[in-house]
Chains A and B, each alone.
Chain A
Amino acid sequence: MNIPVDMTLSLVLLSVLFSFGSSRLPGLIKVLAFQGVVVSLVPLIIGHDMTGGGILFTLATLTIRGIVIPLCIHFAIKKVAIRREVEPIVGYHASVLAGLGLIVAAMAVSHRFNAPSISTSVLLLPTAISLLVAGMFLLMARRNAIAMVLGYIMMENGIYLVGTTFSVRALHIVEFGILLDVLAGVMIMAVILQNIKQTFDDVDTALLRTLKE
């Protein structure tokens, strides 16, 4: 048991539920920013990484995941005055309920795995699984292209959480490379979003269906 870590992780789980319930994009972006900050603090709280380089890297992660990426998307919205609804395919109440079910299922599933590095905290694996599936859910259950990008970011957060368990071994430069890739990816997506808005005057992905067989 590791109480500070589990408390932090429960905040992440809470952010998943909030993201499922939020109908407006600015709110959703704020939830994601909060999630980014908390997720990047986890390795510091687990405490196996207290070297100077480790702290520097955590700060860099925090800046990118918690501030730069959300700001990127925030500006993408602001610049083109996109409609603020997330256009759900699955309704909000049903989504929150699904989110609760997901967290319970993730808890049940992760008891069956045992790995020494993961067992530092009870909630680590369930949270990571929840983030991954929740990201997938947002990708599929929202028609708004921006909500889809946010779903992708949530997935990345989940993978990062699994990754922190092995960051003892991984070199910071490699993790930093991964982070840069994600950042560049989100930036390119933001540019595409602006172009989509300019071309179609909306970011509803139902408009992006001309290419099919």
Chain B
Amino acid sequence: MVEIVFLAPFVTGVIAFFLPRNLGRPLLVLTGTLHLLLSVLLWIRQPEPLFKSYFAVTPEGMLSLLVISLLFFLISIYTVAYLKVADIKSEHIFTGSMLLFLSTMTMVTLSDHIMVMWIAIEATTLASAPLIYTHRSSVSLEATWKYVLICSVGIAMALLGSVLITISMDVGKVDAPVSFSALTAVATRLDPMWLKAGFAFILVGYGTKMGLAPMHTWLPDAHSEAPSPASALLSGVLLNCAYLGIFKTNKIMLAAGLGDFSGPILMGFGLTSILAAGTFILKQTEYKRLLAYSSIENMGIIAFGTGVGGLGAYGAMLCLIHHSLIKSSLFLTSGNILLGYGSRQIEKTGNLVKRMPKTFVAFFGGFAAISGLPPFGIFIGELFVILGAFKAGHYIGVTVLVVSLCAIFAGFANQAMKISFNTSEATIGLTEKASLVWPQYVLLLTSLVLCFWIPDSLYQTIMNAVTIVSGGF
């Protein structure tokens, strides 16, 4: 019964729409705990799904599911504390959408059928749209509109891509289930032309959702307008879900021997995203948008690494996990800063180190980790991506990558220093309660621990996920 993992939050999500706020908040934490338990059980037992043609437990899906589950659990604890201080009018819609969002994302990680994957990813857009509009302001309305329209149109492209892949089965006279695992097994018999077209459309489609430039325009708006717990989910795990769609399609391409086609395209989109993010990070004036652009940068690195293959693919997987942990922690911290200073402008903040010392620890730790300072995981991931690219001989690409990373680091550091140490006259409107900082600490610590010690089963899962991509380096 694999399906129960996404059915449980779905049911509680629907219930939450009808609950008063004093019951909705505990339900959020309760579901988070239940989901974490179920995911761990799934990890240990690896049971068979009830509907085998639609769902499957794959290593890459399992990794994403664990990350989602851990993140949601911690975010739900933070959310309860956040909701007590933040002014959110229709809280039942917020909690209900959070739970439905969790359910749809879980469904993405478990789906194996190409179309079910599409259904789940489109459903994540729909479930998260109310979250972005939580503040009911005209700018958040604009962000929601952009998000729903751009992502829906983008994902429609992915639907077309999925249909084209089924046509490639038709032309190649392949009779197999339309699922990622079955198609990877028979990939060589698929018609290459239609498969290539399908991959291109799927990359553009899910790439829109993943925030790859130039389709990223919705991302900074949505991530900065959503309340911080929702931003943490959007940035930490939703982007991974979209990446999962690309990753699985890329697997089919590699199995079909079309890696020469998919690799350079992925690398191209990756570099474009890194460059675009770099440009906007350097002159950014709002810290939540800064974090959003940093997500685009990291997604660029991940796409680049996946395109490189080999060591790069392993590095991309590491970046994916660590980016989720660190970026969600940073977004939660940005929620504290917003509650404290009451503004999203960097210049309205300052002297975080004295004003909000506990938040400062989380913020600065997160900044160091996301910028790729050693010994954090992003550093190791980026190192593998760069080494992999050198090994494969993509010298120009890797030069662009390294130069942009340096520029981004400089830009990000400049802004982080302003927030942390600039003088500020602002009055802080927030007491730093434990549940407003501990979730961030735990996320950062998890990331730190994973750099030095990866449990064997986790390492094996990562290796299983990237075997076909890396070809065993």
Q: List A residues at the B interface (Cβ < 8 Å).
A: 114-118, 132, 139, 145, 148-149, 152, 155-156, 159, 162-163, 165-166, 169-171, 174-175, 177-178, 181, 184-185, 188-189, 192, 195-196, 199-200, 208, 210-211, 213
Contacts and interface: CB of A to CB of B under 8 A. Distances in A.
A159 B148 contact: no
Interface residues of B, number: 41
A184 to B, nearest CB: 5
A209 B169 CA distance: 43
Contact of A152 (B116, B152, B164, B220): B152
A188 B129 contact: yes
Given A174-B119, A200-B138, 7 more contacts: A159-B160, A162-B164, A163-B163, A166-B167, A174-B54, A185-B122, A211-B146
A199 B280 CA distance: 29
A36 to B, nearest CB: 15
B156 A156 contact: yes
Contacts of B143: 211
Nearest to A114: B171
B18 to A, nearest CB: 19
Interface of B: 53-54, 113, 115-116, 118-119, 122-123, 125-126, 129, 133, 138-139, 141-146, 148-149, 152-153, 156, 159-160, 163-164, 166-167, 169-171, 178, 194, 220-221, 225, 280
Nearest to A165: B167
B272 to A, nearest CB: 16
B138 A210 contact: yes
16 contacts: A114-B171, A116-B171, A118-B167, A132-B160, A155-B153, A155-B156, A159-B159, A162-B164, A165-B167, A166-B170, A170-B178, A185-B126, A189-B152, A192-B129, A192-B148, A211-B225
Contacts of B144: 192
Contacts of B118: 178
B160 A162 contact: yes
Nearest to B175: A169
A47 to B, nearest CB: 18
Given A117-B167, A148-B149, A185-B125, A178 B160 contact: no
B163 A192 contact: no
A46 B119 CA distance: 26
A196 B194 CA distance: 40
Q: Which 9 A-B pairs have the closest CB atoms?
A: A177-B119, A166-B166, A181-B122, A211-B221, A174-B115, A208-B142, A117-B170, A199-B138, A159-B160
Contacts of B178: 169-170
A62 to B, nearest CB: 20
Contacts of A159: 156, 159-160, 163
Nearest to B116: A174
A49 to B, nearest CB: 15
A200 B115 CA distance: 37
Contacts of B166: 166, 169-170
A99 B126 CA distance: 31
B152 A185 contact: yes
Given A152-B153, A188-B129, A192-B148, A162 B163 contact: yes
A106 to B, nearest CB: 14
A209 B171 CA distance: 45
A78 B151 CA distance: 26
B122 A210 contact: no
B145 A192 contact: yes
B24 to A, nearest CB: 21
Contact of B119 (A115, A162, A170, A178): A178
A211 B167 contact: no
B141 A178 contact: no
A149 B153 CA distance: 10
Given A115-B167, A178-B115, A211 B142 contact: yes
B113 A208 contact: no
A3 to B, nearest CB: 23
A189 B171 contact: no
B177 to A, nearest CB: 9
Given A132-B160, A199-B141, A170 B115 contact: yes
A188 B167 contact: no
Given A174-B116, A199-B138, A200-B138, A181 B126 contact: yes
A204 B22 CA distance: 40
A148 B194 CA distance: 29
A211 B163 CA distance: 35
A30 to B, nearest CB: 22
Contacts of A165: 167, 170
A200 B138 CA distance: 8
Contacts of B225: 211
A178 B119 CA distance: 6
Nearest to B289: A213
A149 B148 CA distance: 10
A64 to B, nearest CB: 15
Nearest to B153: A152
Given A115-B171, A177-B116, A188-B126, A166 B148 contact: no
B167 A195 contact: no
B116 A185 contact: no
A172 to B, nearest CB: 11
A170 B53 CA distance: 11
Contacts of A213: 220, 280
Contacts of B221: 211
A210 B138 CA distance: 9
A166 B163 contact: yes
Nearest to A151: B153
A181 B170 contact: no
